[in-house]
Chain A
Amino acid sequence: MINLRRYTLIRNIVLVWLSLVLLAAFLLNIPKINILEHTARNLYFHVPMWFTMMAAVFVSAYHSFQVLRSGDIVRDIRALQAARVGAFFGVLGLVTGIVWSKFTWYVGTDVWWNFDPRQSMVSLQLLIYGAYFVLRGALDDPNKRARIAAVYNLFAATTTPFLLYVIPRQMDSLHPGAEGNPAFSEITHPIMRLVFYPAIVGFIGMFWVLYTQRVRTALIKHRVTHDPEL
């Protein structure tokens, strides 16, 4: 069901790839920007977390759609594990964002969290996915659970682009890409893109490795207990 040789190959590539990204992220010189200074390098780490979560949401929604088409429990396993690892990357994105904002937006104050629209909306998004995991816990029959959870997961996935991108961009926010604040494409120097795009690829690869590990474990559990919930 899972091609182990391919998995091992991709895992090794991802580990080497991310190590090189980490090196380049610190060793390459970047243009100086007021207030941001070296924290501009967080572009290589904080932003790919959200790209990775978005990719995970797509994977999860795709498999949920397949659950509704075929009722295949393996698709349900994949949808759940993609959502779990995706939410994990979302939490990392949120926490790294809080730390970044503390020492740029809120420097010289005691503020860590100021209900910036971007942060509020992604918190809401993570709560929506939290409800997905709770909903699953409330249902005992694996086949019924697969179908009901798939419907909810498709709803959760459709809210994601709005809460992550559309709504925060129309409100006043300190986050780049919001109203009155330049977006990535206007302010990012080419040298930073040299690291940024590989970082996105690397972290999405990391997602795939962690997700595949969990799918493998869930498949074994399904085989021995007939309940794939992990």
Chain B
Amino acid sequence: MSFEPKILGIACNWCTYTGADLAGTTRLKYPQNLRLIRVMCSSRINPSFIIRGFQLGADGVLVGGCHPGDCHYGTGNLYARRKLAITRKILEFAGMEPGRFRVEWISASEGNKFAEVVGEFTNQVRTLGPQTKFKITKDGQ
């Protein structure tokens, strides 16, 4: 059987999650590898969520938020951008493949973009193969 990656998606309620909703209601097709978690704002994302995601078996993590300047709370995604940028550098320096982590700004009207990004990212992670570096392998975890 070919490898099917598990993708953890963390999406902001106001833009990306609504964009995903739009992709659904307009019946766009995108891979079912994505497990989407909704948060109220991309700045709510603690970088430990991403590390924990990888530890619990995610092969890739996709973070979605509003376009800079479009945040529902004004400036949340501007803080998030700094946090996620440094998270990316930390993952890279620890030895994680940079292709397994991606941040995209997707607005509520961009259902097409959502489907495209998920498709593209899933293919990218599929070519990278299973993520084994951070994954917890011992029993009972």
A and B bind: no
